[in-house]
Every structure is written in structure tokens, then in C-alpha cells.
Amino acid sequence: MAIELETILRPVDHPVPPFPPKYMQVASGEMMVVRQIDREEVPELLPHVEPLLHVERDYYDIVSARVYAELLAYYRHRVQDEYVLVAQIDGELAAIVNGRFLNADVGVSYHTLALRRGLRVGAHAFAAKMEYHIDIVKQKEVLIVAESPIGFRRWMIEYQLEKRFEVAHELGGVPSWALTKEIFDKARETLVVGRRPVPEALLKKAQAAILPPSSPPKPPQDLLAATRAMNDPTGTSLMLQRWKQEGKV
């Protein structure tokens, strides 16, 4: 009986071609590999996503909570036709992007989570998932929403996405935007990068283990507490304490 129920609850994925891994140089001079992971690697990601739930800035908390749930749903077969791509620098997790194939023609972009700031790793990873939908799976368009202003700037403005406000996006009642093949073709030259094939050593390093991010986004500093504690001699040292913990001083 239990097994029968599981066959009903567990969706069957449609066959799609895999995302061929690629690599690119980021501004730090390091090489970043973007590759698809399968279910077995999901448990390696979760411990790196969980701390971001507590980062109340740039919508990291909301986005990572959703990504966490989507990763679990993927791992435990509670979502159909989802895929997950990761970006790694020297094995270290730099970004996670995921999405789903709604039908043969339309894709749904779920989320983009950058675990290292300031290198456009999020933008590179997002471009890779659009490439997956449009070039590899040959879909006609991808439905996209943004939680954060920076996401809005990166996707809606930089790609000049089309409005699809009449279509409800799976993530909720927020207005949808769409990336069509035509839009992607226009963006290709400036926004979409990557070289293939990935040199063997680079790919092997990435596949060997998903290492923890070295400088993940952190919760905002507790400036308020320090300021209020004017006459408390420990008040002004809060920030210093934090830096000491982080090895910055």
C-alpha cells in the first residue's frame, strides 16, 4: 500500500538532455565551473544553504528558504522536471541556480543564489540556466520572477525581459516576466559566457566535493545594539569581536 501511494506521489520526470558543463574566468582570476548535479549531491548543498536563511538582507533569507525547500523536494521526488546547476570555484560552492520544465515549450526559473559576492557569479549562473532552457532543451521561453531589487536589475533590466503579468508564476502571485529565444539571442554576446569542454582536472576537482563557500553572505552587523550601548564598555567592541572571530583583525 505504502509503495503504491509513493508511486502516485512521486512524479516521473520527462527525459531532457543534460546540461553540458562549462567554465569561465571570474574577475578574481579564478576559474569557475558550472555543472548540473543530480539528486545524490543535494545533501552536500543543504548545509551551505541553511545559514543563509538567517541573512536578512537582499532577500537572502526568503530566497534561500525557498531554494532549501526546492532542493529537498528535488531530492525526495516531490517536484517534477526540476534541475539544479551549481557554480564552483576551486571546488568551493559559489552559486546555485534551479528551475523546472513546465512543458516542452515553457520553462520556469526558480532561483539564483550567489554565495560569493562581487564576482557576478550569480549572473553567470543565471545565464547558464537560461542557456539550458533555450539552447539545450530548446524551449521557447522561460518564466521568471524576482524577489530582490538586485535580481530585478540583473534579470529584468539587463536582459530586457518581456512582461507576462497575466501569467501566474509557480513561486506565487508576483508578476511574471519572460525570457524568449529572441531576447536570449540579443543578450548572448554580452551576458552569456563560458568555454567547453571543461578541462578534465577542473571538472574532476568540482565533482570530487562541493566545498563550503569561503566568504558567504553574512547577517548585517549589530550596529544598533552597539550604538544603544553607549555607556556600556563592551558595546563598541561588538564589531571588533566579530572581526576577531572572522580573522579580519
Partner 1 sequence: MREVYVVGIGITSFSRLEYPLSEIAAYPAMQAMKECGLSKIDHLFVANMGASRINQQTALASAVVDTLSLTPAGAEAIENGPASGASAIKTGFMAVASGVHDVVMVTGAERMRAVNNLEATDFVATLSHPLAEYIYGVTLPSLAGMFTRLYMEKYGVTSRHLAMVAVKNHDNAMLNPFAHLHQKITVEAILDSPEAETNNPFVADPLRFFDCCPVSDGGACVILASKEVAQDVAKRNKKPIVRLTGIGQATDTHAVQERENPTDLLAVRGAAQQAFKMAGVKPSDVNVAELHDAFTILEIVESEEVGFFKKGEGHLALEKGLTSLTGQIPINTSGGLKGKGHPVGATGIGQAHEIVTQLRGEARKRQVKNAKIGFTCNFGGFGNNVVCLVFARED
Ligand X SMILES: CC(C)(COP(=O)(O)OP(=O)(O)OC[C@H]1O[C@@H](n2cnc3c(N)ncnc32)[C@H](O)[C@@H]1OP(=O)(O)O)[C@@H](O)C(=O)NCCC(=O)NCCS
Q: Which residues bind ligand X (CB under 6 A)?
A: 58-60, 63, 112-114, 117-118, 120-123, 146-148, 150-151, 154
Residues 169-208, mask of contacts with partner 1 (x by CB under 8 A): ---------------------xxxxxx-------------
| For ligand X, the closer CB: 79 or 146 | 146
Supply the minimum distance, in Å, between the C-beta of residue 114 and ligand X. 4
Amino acid (1-letter code) at residue 137: V
Q: Is 121 buried (19+), middle (13-18) or exposed (0-12) by CB count in 10 A? A: buried
Region from 71-79, 86-94, 162-170, 225-233 binding partner 1, contact rule CB under 8 A = 225-233
We find the least distance from the C-beta atom of residue 224 to ligand X, in angstroms, to be 19
Nearest alpha carbon to residue 142 among 112, 114, 184, 96: 184
Residue tagged 552559486 (cell numbers): 95
- Residue 215 binding target from ligand X, partner 1, none, CB below 5 to 8 Å by type: partner 1
Our CB check for ligand X shows the closer of 50 and 232 to be: 50
Terminal Cα-to-Cα distance of the chain (whole angstroms): 60
For 94, other C-beta atoms within 10 Å of its C-beta total 26
Closest CB 237 distance from partner 1, rounded Å: 9
Strands 141-144 and 106-114: parallel
Is the CB of 1 or the CB of 27 nearer to partner 1?
A: 27
Computed from CA positions of residues 239, 242, 244, 246, in that sequence, does the dihedral angle turn out positive or negative? negative
